[in-house]
Amino acid sequence: MAMVSHAPGELGDAEIVAASLRSPEAFGELFRRHAPRLHAYVRRRLGPSLADDLVSESFATAFRQRERFDGRRDFGAWLWGIAANLIARHHRHETRMYRAFARTGVDPAEDGVAERAGDRAAAAALGPALAKALASLNAQDREAVLMLAWAEMSYGEIATALDLPLGTVKAKVHRARTKLRKALPKEDGDG
């Protein structure tokens, strides 16, 4: 198996999953590699109060089901699929969060740490309208567009994570973007 994204001598994710069947502690390396990105995404989706729990639950599920991981899919995509299913369970909470943001203009997912000031200022200006528009999307369309925008996943990664055909993912993202554009105020110079 090729080790494309890792330094020489470092095991790939599929190899670590296999090794964890003999030595469960090896699975910790997968947490180190994937948890920060997954946590940032879940925090933006469901807020900081649920992010730790949902990321932990995603990894616990992956650990319990690691014998079922066959290596045909990328481990990260498999993990994101697990997380997407758990997020879907929290869909009602997420929708309430977006509606509250739309009403109050206060982002309940914000933990007070400014990661990128320019992005944050733009998001604050559009925040309530964006939250209302996101709340209006169906859960799977919202999942696809947010994986693209917030998790910076490729269409292929999203397709794998959501277990959908690539064309379906592209259609969902296009549909979500169209709805979001219609719901958001136009910038100066937009036609």
pLDDT, one tens digit per residue, over 75-129 is: 999 999 999 999 888 777 667 777 777 777 766 655 443 344 444 445 555 677 7
Smallest CA-to-CA distance from 63 within 12, 17, 13 is with: 17
| Residue type at position 188 | D
Query: Are 122 and 75 in contact, with CB atoms under 8 Å apart?
Result: no
Smallest CA-to-CA distance from 75 within 3, 146, 139 is with: 3
Query: Where along the chain do its domains lie?
Result: 13-183
Above pLDDT 70, what percent of the chain? 79
Count of Cβ atoms closer than 10 Å to residue 50 Cβ = 20
Alpha-carbon distance of 167 to 63, in angstroms, equals 31
Query: Are 27 and 63 in contact, with CB atoms under 8 Å apart?
Result: yes
The per-residue pLDDT for 35 is 95
pLDDT, one tens digit per residue, over 122-179 is: 555 567 777 888 888 888 899 899 888 888 889 999 999 899 999 999 999 999 988 8
Is-above-0.75 flag for pTM?
no
Tokens 């929708």 belong to residue: 95
Alpha-carbon distance of 113 to 63, in angstroms, equals 31
Q: Which residue has the higher pLDDT, 30 or 135?
A: 30
Q: Which residue has the higher pLDDT, 191 or 70?
A: 70
pLDDT, one tens digit per residue, over 45-80 is: 888 878 999 999 999 999 999 999 988 889 999 999
Alpha-carbon distance of 175 to 87, in angstroms, equals 20
| Residue type at position 173 | V
